[in-house]
Structure 1
Amino acid sequence: MSQPALLELLRGLAADVLDALSTAEGADAGVGTGIDTQRLRRVGARLVEAHLTEPAALQRTLELLSAELAGPRTAVAMAALAAGYAQALRSRTRDEQQRIMTAAMESRLAAEARFAAIFDAAAIGITVCHVDGEILEVNRALCDMLGYAPADLVSRQFWEFDHPDDRPGLWDRTKDLLTGAVDHLRLEKPYFRRDGTTVLTDLVLSLVSDPDGRSRYVVAMMQDITEQRRMQDRLAHQATHDPLTGLPNRTMFFERLDAALLPVGDGPAVGVCYLDLDGFKAVNDTLGHDVGDELLRAVAQRLETELGHDGHVVARMGGDEFVILVEHCPDTAALEAVAAAALDLVRTPVRVGGTEVQVSASVGVVRHSGGATTAADLTKAADTTMYWAKSDGRDRYALFDADRHRDDVHRYGLSARMPQALERGEFVVEYQPLVRLADQRVIGVEALVRWELPDGRRLGPDEFVPIAEHNGLIVPLGRSVLTEACRAAVGWAAELPEHPLLMSVNLAARQVREPGIVTAIAGILADTGWRPELLQLELTESDLMGSTGETLSVLRTLAAMGVRIAIDDFGTGYSNLAYLRHLPVHTLKLAGPFVTGANLPDGLLSAPRGAADDVDARVLAAVVELARVLGLSVTAESVETAGQLERLRALGCDTGQGWYFARSVPAAEVLDMVRDPPWPAPPGPQ
């Protein structure tokens, strides 16, 4: 009420009081007082109607009347006004209580109706139990979930529904709920349905207390998560198992291996057998991938049945690779027995679609008996060891060797660094003289590539050329060496035009098979200006003897351009002499063992007639004679002594190279070597 409205109300009430006090005697119940008590009662009631119900409002009103009135009328007036005030206040309070009760009842009835509707129509199972476990109510969803009628469940104990798959002490956790330590509890629990099947539920228990805080009821809400759990289990199985064979996959294998490698006292060592099928690609290519898949399933089943039965983990790593984890490996012999058993299982023929398929396997065996390592490092070591078994002949197992593994890791490291090394110019070319034996004059040089590492180490071609051939870098490396060698030769010819040198460069079989090799070599000759007839390309005997088809056509095209072709390391392979005469070859380079011998100080060539090893000298003489018949020149490698030089010249060898003459030198030192040879001058007139 605003202030003006309040003043207006009070003025009106004051006027009523004055009027009531001036009423004639006998006009109302206040006979002999001259007061209209009914009117004063209405004034008290109007104070209540105006919401002036604070105790101070009545107190100040009565104090005012007591001060303003005198005589016996004061008590009567105040009593009448107070009575009206109290009567109005009591009526108002009773009305408010009635409205509250009515609203509460309506709300309770509505709430109960809503609860009943929700309880009965809920999609999840709900039951209300007494705190002692007696089931008081169940809804339709719970009955449908368990296959019972409500009468079958009500009055039974909630805690009596045990299941063999319950976790130990499952119901002990409810003590915290019933004591009020927690207000709800969530857990997974299986229940038997009435038909004996099992349903897995997500169970939430909630405690309901009365206004005084006393525990009264437990509400249990259950959701059927059986299908959800089955889906989770299927997804988990798919995530950790191979879909083709059903074996554990890489993920699960590494989880088990990580766990096995955890240090637990001085327990048994851990063993790994890495198995790869031999020739599996041929099965896929000839019989089809369906047969290949069936073969993989059969091998997986055998390994799992026989070795998994012994407690070993058999997993498929991918493709035709399997791995066997021996988590308790007392010694290497036990691990070898597992590998041998695996090989026997794989060797057994498999009949697929009326076809009998037989394959073998190669197995790498690694036993880890202590020390820090990781699952990835141990598996990598086993994988590397498996390839040793393949390179040693297949159908066998190989034991891990730390020194050999370090060499492999070193080679892998070199292979990874090689592309950047080529870009940074770490590969340098040096030149070893080709000396005519008749007068010991330099007629040419052989280009030899070296790898100078940033740390100052220097690697020879025997260390990195096989790696380059394997990873394919031999192609750009070979072109780089050939280009640098031709440029160097052009520079020497400009300074010594009267003595042009033959430039001999090694050519790997991988380079010969590279598309466009002829165009590339012709382009290098054109760019550098070097003459084709002064370029000699060397191929090893094993590479050249296998030349057929397109490779042979490449060699013939190069020879037609004027380029000389030489067979390097002749005598280390198995040459078909009848085939040799049809190759576009100009020179045979005798392999070093022919020249250096094995035991004699000056080699086999310096052995006296009649010695047991003289037969090798005779073979060498026959090879030289064969070259003469075929019209080929002969170069002897690895000439190290004067005795070897003399005997080679006596046999008719044309050219020699080796440490007796000079080691390889940088391009800047070649002309000095040509002008002033560092080896002894030949006897007799020049």
Structure 2
Amino acid sequence: MSGTSEGHRPPAGTSPGATPAADTESHPAETALLDYRSAFRSATFAMAVVDGSGTIVHANETLARMAGTGATDLAGLPVAGLVGLTPDDHAWRAWREVLRGRRSRFRCTRRLKHRDGKPLWAEITVVPMADPSAGSPGRALLTVADISDRHELQQRLRHLQMHDAVTRLPNRTLFFERLSAALELSPFQDSSLLPRPGRIGLCYLDLDGFKAVNDTLGHRAGDRLLAAVAGRLSDVAGRDPYHPGGSHFVARLGGDEFAVLVEESQGTQQLLDLADALLTGVQQPFDLAGQRLSVSASIGVVERACAGTSPTGLMQAADTTLYWAKADGRARWTLFDPERNAHRMTRQALSSTLRPAVDRGEFALEYQPLVGMADGVVRGVEALVRWNHPQFGVLGPNRFVSIAEEDGSIVRLGRWVLRTACRQARRWQLDHPDGPALFVSVNVAVRQVWDSDLVAEVGDILAETGLDPGLLQLELTESAVMGSAGRPLRALQALSDMGVRIAIDDFGTGYSNLAYLSRLPVSVLKLDGSFVRGFRYDDGGRHPSPADETIVQALVELAHRLGLTVTAECVETVEQAERLRRIGCDTGQGWLYSRAVAPERIAELIDAGGVAAPGATASGAP
């Protein structure tokens, strides 16, 4: 008989020695633990168990293979060292909070350290293995996913997004990223935590005449030229003697604009030498597919301390300076000038407040006497506009008239000046009926002739104020009347027919073409002050510029033969006045007689008999 009774046979499907089902069922927790451990070890997903201090307790084979080592070798290693986390890392705090059970998840992308040195980018995820609400340190599960392929694709896409397709240089987006980083992260002195005051420089370059290349040779040739220019700029940027062993950051900002960023500038001279080298490099002829092209460039140069400099501020300065380089003649570099920029900013401020200033009553007129050279009698006055600016104080016409001409507000301002001057001249005449009737001379911009019905305005103002047309003189610059034809010529002729006198201001500084004097309705020539200044004597009593006297004498004789009178501007000394009188100049104007003064002072001159003796106001001369 068998030693095993039938009543004690194992259940069908079991072998002798197998654990009875009842035993297995009696230890379900142990069985589940075995299953979990088996799954952990054989999982294709890299995992590790980490204790509260961040040390690896267990690691599976997948993670070990990813790190190029064995699973047992990973045990006891700090996770931070494996994935490159350091206390100064922005993710460090989140990592520690997960280990302490105060955060439910931590995820980051890191470059994993592999034993053989091959690059491997991984997505790291850490979750607490205990209930996070408990708040007590426990263990955490670390999972690591290899995302090297995805990271490489992202890098390629980023490179395409951040680089120019034509020149392969960094584009505008990447340039501003680099610029922002350079301004935010100043270099450090040794191990000190205090940043040293670093400096930054920028050469902002624009090709001169690039549009002509595109228009005449086509965009393909233009693209080849841009690529060749980019190569030249990169070569120059890599050969800066101030920066051996490295290259400055070169970018194409768009169109034909390039930037060379000097992140650790050693001073203005480095930037100027670099700008010289860049200009020289660009100006060398290009041989593009059998076409030989020559171009030039304009460069705006800015160099300043990083502290207090923003990317926007630096680029605004560079853009302004590039504009100066082009305005100064192109094919050159121009260094940022704070004083010139302040003048530009002031000009912008004036431009924005100029139009409403007339309504606010911020303008006033002063009057400078025009004196007969032979007898010293005041013949007339020139009206000179002043702007009582609430921020910048009293401004002379040289500060704002050109702005008014550019934006068109000169038409409205000129109308106000003309009406005010005519009204004042009429007031003097009414208040001093026994005194000489002074004519008033008013400057007229060429835009007033083109953009308004000047003839109608003058007629209306004369009728309104009651001033005789013969007591109004309109001054236009020589360049404004040169080549006058059509509407301007008809306007000048109509004004002359009305009885208004026409004067050419600053005569001798423009085209100096005397032919137009015979066909224009001109009554007066006003000689530019540069001729009169040449009438001074030096300390030895010698005339420093005898040619000026010869020229003035010839002009006066010519004007008189044409029936014109001559006024000399900028008369400042008795000697000048005497020589001008001997030459035959009719009237003089300048600080020898009087500065521009308020209307009340002119009234005093009229009461005094209208005489301004030479030297009587010389204390006001410079």
TM-score relative to the length of structure 1: 0.63
Give me the whole-angstrom Cα distance separating, in 1, the residues matched to 2:454 and 2:282. 43
* Cα offset, 1:235, TM superposition: 6.8
**What residue in structure 1 maps to residue 107 of structure 2?**
186
Q: Report the 3-state secondary structure (helix = DSSP H, G, I; strand = E; otherwise coil) of the residue aligned with 1:628.
A: helix
Structure 2 match to 1:593: 530
1:570/1:267 CA distance change after superposition, 3 Å: same
Q: Does 1:482 align with 2:418?
A: yes
The yes-or-no answer on 1:273 pairing with 2:206 is: no
Work out whether 1:634 is the aligned partner of 2:539.
Answer: no
Distance 1:548 1:202 in 2: 79
Question: Corresponding residue for 1:652?
Answer: 584
- Counterpart CA distance in 2 for 1:678 and 1:279 is 59
User: For the residues of structure 1 that align with 2:163 and 2:456, how far apart are their CA atoms?
Assistant: 52
Picking from 121, 131, 135, the partner of 2:42 is 135
Helix, strand or coil: the match of 1:134? helix
1:135·1:158 contact (CA, 8 Å) conserved in 2?
no
**Gap change, CA 1:178 and 1:280, over 3 Å in 2:** closer
User: Residue in 2 aligned with 1:581?
Assistant: 518
Matched with 1:537 is: 474
Deviation of 1:568 (Å): 1.0
Which protein has the bigger helix share? 1
How much has 1:507 moved relative to structure 2? 2.1
Structure 2 portions without partners, runs of 5+: 1-24, 29-34, 46-59, 69-78, 86-91, 113-117, 132-137, 190-194, 240-245, 616-622
Aligned residue number for residue 462 of structure 1: 398
- Taking the TM superposition and a 5 Å limit, the aligned residue runs for 1:45-444 are 130=37, 133-136=40-43, 157-162=62-67, 169-170=82-83, 186-188=107-109, 204=125, 230=153, 234=157, 238=161, 246-249=169-172, 251-252=176-177, 254-259=179-184, 265-266=195-196, 269-280=199-210, 295-296=225-226, 298-307=228-237, 310-317=246-253, 320-350=256-286, 357-368=293-304, 372-444=308-380
Conserved? CA contact 1:129–1:137, under 8 Å: no
Change (3 A) 1:129 1:400: farther
CA offset at residue 432 of structure 1? 1.3
Any idea what the Cα deviations from partners look like across 1:332-371, whole Å, max 9, x if unmatched? 3322221012112332345679865533222233332576
User: Match of 1:663, as an amino acid?
Assistant: R
Q: Work out the CA distance in 2 between the residues paired with 1:487 and 1:432.
A: 16
Q: CA deviation at 1:430?
A: 0.9
1:78 is matched with none
Structure 1 residues 209 and 616, CA, compared in 2 at 3 Å: closer, same or farther? closer
CA distance in 2, matches of 1:382, 1:642: 50
Note the C-alpha offset of 1:621.
0.7
Structure 2 counterpart of 1:626, one-letter code: L
C-alpha distance in 1, partners of 2:185/2:449?
50
**Partner of 2:612 in structure 1?**
679
Deviation at 1:538, TM superposition (A): 1.6
Distance 1:523 1:319 in 2: 52
Separation in structure 1 between the aligned mates of residue 396 and residue 178 of structure 2, nearest angstrom: 41
Contact in 2 for aligned 1:363/1:396 (Cα 8 Å): yes
Superposed CA deviations along residues 288-338 of structure 1, whole A, max 9, x for unmatched, are: 777666655543443245426842122345554433221122243322221
Q: TM-score scaled by structure 2? A: 0.68
> C-alpha separation between the residues in 2 aligned to 1:648 and 1:179?
98
Contact 1:244 1:293 in 2 (8 A): yes
Residue 404 of structure 1 and its aligned partner are, at CA, apart by: 4.2
Instruction: Look up the equivalent residue of 1:600 and give its one-letter code.
Output: Y
Aligned residues with identical type, % of pairs: 43
Whether the 8 Å CA contact 2:98–2:126 is kept in 1: the answer is no
The amino acid that maps onto 1:278 is: D
SS at match of 2:520: coil
Give the whole-Å Cα distance in 2 for the aligned partners of 1:159 and 1:337. Answer: 55
Any idea what the Cα deviations from partners look like across 1:495-545, whole Å, max 9, x if unmatched? Answer: 456754322111234444436555555555555555544432222223433
Show CA shifts across 1:406-449 (max 9, x none). Answer: 44444444444444544432221111122233443333221101
**What residue identity is the alignment partner of 2:554?**
A
Assess if the C-alpha contact under 8 Å between 1:602 and 1:643 holds in 2: no
Describe the shift of the 1:162–1:632 C-alpha distance in structure 2 as closer, same or farther (beyond 3 A).
farther
Matched residue pairs, number?
527
Cα deviation, residue 587, structure 1: 1.4
One of 553, 556, 563 as aligned partner of 1:621: 553
Q: Report which stretch shifted further, 630-639 or 302-311.
A: 302-311
CA positional deviation for 1:637 = 1.4
- Whether the 8 Å CA contact 1:662–1:678 is kept in 2: the answer is no
Q: Compare CA radii of gyration and give the structure with the larger one.
A: 1
Q: Deviations over 1:138-163 (max 9, x none)?
A: 8xxxxxxxxxxxxxxxx953441359
Q: 8 Å contact 1:131–1:216 — kept in the other structure? A: no
Q: Indicate if the aligned counterparts of 1:415 and 1:467 stay in contact, CA closer than 8 A.
A: yes
> Shift of the alpha carbon at 1:241?
5.7
471-480 or 624-633, which deviates more: 471-480
Q: In the alignment, is the contact (CA less than 8 A) between 1:260 and 1:327 conserved in 2?
A: no
Secondary structure of the corresponding residue to residue 462 of structure 1:
helix
Q: Is the Cα–Cα contact under 8 Å of residues 130 and 218 in structure 1 kept in the other structure? A: no
Aligned to 1:88: none
How far apart, in 1, do the equivalents of 2:492 and 2:212 lie?
Answer: 31
Query: Residue 65 of structure 1 aligns with which residue?
Result: none
| Cα separation, 1, equivalents of 2:544 and 2:269 | 45
In structure 2, distance between residues paired with 1:678 and 1:646: 17
Q: In the alignment, is the contact (CA less than 8 A) between 1:130 and 1:136 conserved in 2? A: no
Query: Partners in 2 of 1:189 and 1:532 — Cα distance?
Result: 88
Distance in 2 separating the partners of 1:613 and 1:217:
96
**8 Å contact 2:203–2:318 — kept in the other structure?**
yes
Partner residue in 2 for 1:564: 501
Q: What is the alpha-carbon root mean square deviation over aligned residues? A: 4.9
Find the residue that maps to 2:581 and give its secondary structure. helix
Is the Cα–Cα contact under 8 Å of residues 99 and 140 in structure 2 kept in the other structure? Answer: no
Partner residue, 1:56: none
Change (3 A) 1:640 1:171: closer
Which ranges in structure 1 are unaligned for 5 or more consecutive residues?
Answer: 1-104, 109-127, 139-154, 192-196
What's the CA shift for 1:660?
2.7
Task: Give me the whole-angstrom Cα distance separating, in 1, the residues matched to 2:188 and 2:444.
Answer: 53
| Residue identity opposite 2:570 in structure 1 | S
State whether residues 371 and 612 of structure 2, in contact with CA within 8 Å, keep that contact through their aligned partners in structure 1.
no
Shift of 1:575: 0.9
